[in-house]
Amino acid sequence: MVYTPSMGMSWALLMFVAYSMSFITAGLLFAKPMRDINCVTMLDPFKLKYGKVMGVVLSLCSLFVDLTWVPSTLMGLGGMMSVVLDLPFSACIWISAGVAITYTLMGGLYSVAYTDIIQLVLIFVGLCICVPFVLTSPHTLDISQTLMNNTLHAPWIGELELRKSWIMIDDFLFFALGSLGYQAFHQRTLSASSTATAKLTSLFAAVIILVIGIPIILLGAAAASTDWNQTTYGSPSPYERGEAAMVLPIALQHLTPPFISIIGIGCVAAAVMSSADSALLSASSVFTNNIYNTILRPQASDREIQWVIRVSVVVVGVVGTSLSSLKNSILLFWFIGAEMAYTINFSQLLCALFFNISNGYGSIMGLLVGLMIRLLSGDPIIGLEAILHFPGCTLEDGVYVQYAPVKTISMLSTIAAILLFSYLASVLFNKGVLPEKWDVFKVKAQHSPVPLSPVGGAIEEEEKLKNKHPSE
């Protein structure tokens, strides 16, 4: 992101601060209410408040989000491995998927949690080792001179334009709040030993992500200050070749000694791998707890649930890896998944936890309204034409470009629709305007969510993962 001229350090800082805020928000606002009702996954509040049917609908949305996340991470990992190992791109992706699936199966939540800690340490230490070698490379200029000067590359501070101010605000909220729409984001706080631990972990993560961002920004700045024609990579530069997304492993390979390059790229690969295993566990948790054990087999035993978790991990891994072969469609998958997490999942979770008036009718209308507005707003990156033209929408090179915060407008529209239609449904049924027999979601008898029972078929998933063993 720092290396890309249209973004630079300004947008990178925005993203890191936004992700830091998302951890703070999760710890201070969402951890306690979700743990108070003994949630196993992020989707449990929907099942408790709206019923099983609407809970399954929203669970499918979350499952789709995780499924689109898997190929996105694996493509990044496969690209790095192919650069270093000089192996076919597809082979690297399947190797990466095999490793992620194997250790997620072997240890479940424990393997993901502990490997993430190890990977986190390796990422920071490894990148810090690489930074001095990249900055002192004879092919790299002083980054302080290229910060705001157009020398070998555009200034790496990035472009700050007044007309894009709403877009920056939109992207900040998208990263800060949209992250809360991922089950993987909440599975750490829900599996913590106590609410206090969950909050402390989130606040610690908010600080750590800012610290880890320092070497990443420095490496991006060095890449933007490098005369690539003098390196073994040659000319033109990665940006001109369309390889800006792979500039980090390229820089490590061509600007550092071989053994340092291996350390750095290995650490970056570990970071991507941690995202892949989190997505696998997240998707399997949602399917097992919110679909299989809720609708398909409510009477399933603990042993059966453990096997369903294992099978789900494999199926999600294979399907997600298969999607990575659709290179032209992967951007579309990522777009749909990320937008659903922000526009649908986050909005629905917020209303289910903090607005007593919300009900199943409002949830359905919120989902439809949010998706409709977002699709009609368009997005030139994936070739989606804008039908709704918000203030500031301009025609550039024959394509309408939105300069309004369309993602946030869609999210707020979802929340507004949920609350409005929930209130209307509540009034119509409670005042007898509509007969009670039409009340599918039982609005007239609606009450606050009752905590999930930690026994029987509803044993918390982390306990299932803790108790399982590969030999079972």
Distance spanning both ends of the chain, measured CA to CA: 45
Give the gyration radius of the chain's Cα atoms.
23
| % residues pLDDT > 70 (the chain) | 89
Asked if residues 24 and 206 have their Cβ atoms less than 8 Å apart, the reply is yes
Please tell me the predicted confidence (pLDDT) of residue 252.
86
Handedness of CA 337, 207, 273, 77 (dihedral sign): positive
State yes or no: pLDDT of 461 exceeds 50. no
Closest CA to 65 of 189, 190, 180, 182: 182
State yes or no: pLDDT of 324 exceeds 50. yes
**What is the C-alpha to C-alpha distance for residues 437 and 465, in angstroms, rounded to an integer?**
42
Please tell me the predicted confidence (pLDDT) of residue 456.
41
Q: What crossing angle do the helices spanning 89-135 and 302-323 adopt, rounded to 10°?
A: 80
pLDDT digits (tens, 9 = 90+) for 109-156: 566 666 677 777 888 888 889 899 999 888 888 888 888 877 777 778
State yes or no: pLDDT of 467 exceeds 50. no
Please tell me the predicted confidence (pLDDT) of residue 189.
87
Asked if residues 316 and 284 have their Cβ atoms less than 8 Å apart, the reply is yes
Please tell me the predicted confidence (pLDDT) of residue 89.
74
pLDDT band (50, 70, 90) for residue 361: very high
pLDDT digits (tens, 9 = 90+) for 1-18: 677 767 778 888 988 999
pLDDT band (50, 70, 90) for residue 377: very high
Please tell me the predicted confidence (pLDDT) of residue 423.
93
The partner residues of 401 in beta bridges, in order of sequence, read 394
Reduced to 3 DSSP states, what percent helix, strand and coil does the chain have, rounded to the nearest 5? Answer: 70, 0, 25
Give the mean pLDDT of 309-324. Answer: 86
Give the mean pLDDT of 239-265. Answer: 83
The maximal CA–CA distance of the chain, rounded, in angstroms, is: 80
What global pTM score does this model have? Answer: 0.84
DSSP notation for 223-246? HHTB-GGGSSS-SS-TTTTT-GGG
Closest CA to 44 of 353, 468, 359, 463: 353
The SS3 assignment for 368 reads helix
Asked if residues 167 and 174 have their Cβ atoms less than 8 Å apart, the reply is no
pLDDT digits (tens, 9 = 90+) for 289-301: 888 888 888 888 8
Please tell me the predicted confidence (pLDDT) of residue 463.
43
**What is the C-alpha to C-alpha distance for residues 193 and 372, in angstroms, rounded to an integer?**
40
DSSP notation for 100-136? HHHHHHHHHHHHHHHHHHHHHHHHHHHHHHHHHHHHT
State yes or no: pLDDT of 469 exceeds 70. no
Please tell me the predicted confidence (pLDDT) of residue 404.
92
State yes or no: pLDDT of 249 exceeds 60. yes
Give the mean pLDDT of 373-385. Answer: 86
pLDDT digits (tens, 9 = 90+) for 179-211: 999 988 888 888 888 899 999 989 998 999 999
Please tell me the predicted confidence (pLDDT) of residue 349.
94
Q: Which of 56-70, 131-145, 251-265, 326-340 has the lowest mean pLDDT?
A: 326-340
State yes or no: pLDDT of 470 exceeds 70. no
Which CB contacts under 8 angstroms, 24+ apart, belong to 205-210?
205/23, 206/20, 206/21, 206/23, 206/24, 206/27, 207/20, 208/120, 209/16, 209/19, 209/20, 209/23, 210/16, 210/17, 210/20
**What is the C-alpha to C-alpha distance for residues 6 and 127, in angstroms, rounded to an integer?**
24
Please tell me the predicted confidence (pLDDT) of residue 466.
42
Maximum average pLDDT range among 114-118, 318-322, 334-338, 353-357: 353-357
Give the mean pLDDT of 55-69. Answer: 88
Maximum average pLDDT range among 24-28, 269-273, 452-456: 24-28
